[in-house]
């Protein structure tokens, strides 16, 4: 499993999983509230990088604990669970969206970091880091995947979000997770 594969799988998986996710809804709310695109995008990038780097370290730790065959099976099974989770529509907690009296960057940084804890994209990052040895490729891919899904929402706001076929995108992301799960299970040496 090469670094380019780790990067591309991470990028594709997270960008698809993020569509309609609560952090994407948070992007929309923050963009509407602050109307300051660059600080919001910078906050998303910094929060995602920190959160996904920590998740990748946890994933690496799990990956080092498990035998390769069991690791492939666990990652495959977790991707199939992610496929089912992706079908569930997310909602946004009002506390995350409020931002208090802070500026756009700090509100985005803290809101995104907190919203990502236990989120499907963070769990997917743990699984990807367990499966692929290149933490840099995984974290770069997951972070850029988050940005690829959130920058259009920040830039175009509600006009963009209202035109997305979210149900079809959720089904597509679910199918991608299912496909990845089957791929990892197929790679596992069953004995």
In the chain the first and final C-alpha atoms are separated, in Å, by: 21
Euclidean distance between CA atoms 164 and 173, whole angstroms: 14
State pLDDT tens for residues 166-187: 566 667 767 776 777 787 777 7
Euclidean distance between CA atoms 31 and 159, whole angstroms: 12
State pLDDT tens for residues 101-130: 568 899 889 888 888 887 888 888 998 998
Q: Could you tell me the CA-to-CA distances from 146 to 65, 67, 176, 182, 184 in Å, in that order?
A: 28, 30, 16, 24, 23
What is the reported pTM?
0.70
Euclidean distance between CA atoms 117 and 129, whole angstroms: 16
Residue 62 structural domain: 3-187
**Other CB atoms within 10 A of residue 178 CB:** 16
Q: What is the pLDDT of residue 20?
A: 73
Euclidean distance between CA atoms 91 and 82, whole angstroms: 17
How many distinct structural domains can be found in the chain? 1
Which one of 68-72, 79-83, 145-149 scores highest in mean pLDDT? 145-149
State pLDDT tens for residues 29-46: 788 778 788 999 999 999
């Amino acid at each position: 499993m090469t670094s380019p594969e780790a990067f591309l799988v991470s990028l594709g998986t997270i960008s698809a999983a993020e569509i309609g996710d609560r952090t994407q809804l948070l992007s929309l709310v923050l963009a509407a509230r602050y109307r300051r695109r660059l600080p919001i995008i910078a906050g998303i990038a910094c929060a995602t990088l920190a959160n996904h780097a920590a998740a990748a370290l946890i994933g690496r730790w799990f990956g080092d604990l498990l035998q390769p065959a069991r690791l492939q099976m666990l990652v495959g099974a977790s991707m199939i669970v992610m496929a089912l989770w992706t079908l569930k529509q997310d909602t946004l907690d009002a506390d995350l969206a409020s931002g208090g009296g802070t500026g756009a960057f700090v509100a985005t940084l803290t809101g995104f970091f907190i919203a990502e804890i236990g989120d499907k994209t963070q769990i997917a990052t743990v699984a990807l880091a367990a499966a692929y040895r290149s933490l840099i490729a995984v974290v770069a891919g997951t972070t850029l995947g988050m940005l690829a899904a959130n920058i259009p929402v920040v830039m175009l706001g509600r006009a963009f979000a209202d035109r997305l076929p979210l149900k079809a995108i959720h089904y597509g992301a679910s199918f991608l997770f299912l496909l990845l799960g089957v791929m990892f299970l197929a790679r596992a040496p069953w004995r």
